[in-house]
Amino acid sequence: MGNSFEKFRKNDVYLIVILIVIGIAGLILMQAVKKQGGTVVVKVDGKVYKELKLSENQTVEIVNDKGNKNILEIKDGKVDMTYADCNNQVCVNHKKIMYNGETIICMPNDVIVEIHSDDDSNVDAVAR
């Protein structure tokens, strides 16, 4: 009798552990999907210049009205400014961005790179 009770408790613990593991896996998966679904919005002179998928590896050349050039690289869900002909190089020295709301700004060239995750599309009231 006491034996079967112990077995029951053991199975219970296994069940709880399995549920926790599934829960954590689900959270990680959701996070990954969220990251994949992001959009990289490039603005030049305050206007939307290009919209890119965060999930697609690509290198994009950005040229503003004055002919200034920036090169943006999207790789493995991370966005990096790899080149700019601006005088301060703040944007090139900026760390790679990957999360919703993060930005890389090149003030001299008037270039703004923003990450928008797909599930908060109603927050774009910031558009000027």
Interaction site with Zn ion (CB under 5 A): 84, 86, 91, 106
Cβ closer to Zn ion: 41 or 72?
72
CB of 28 to Zn ion, least distance (A): 35
Cβ closer to Zn ion: 39 or 89?
89
DSSP 97: B
Q: Are 111 and 105 in contact (CB under 8 A)?
A: yes
CB of 90 to Zn ion, least distance (A): 6
> Apex CA 112: angle with CA 106 and CA 113, to 5°?
115
Cβ closer to Zn ion: 55 or 105?
105
Cα gap 114→97, rounded to integer Å? 9
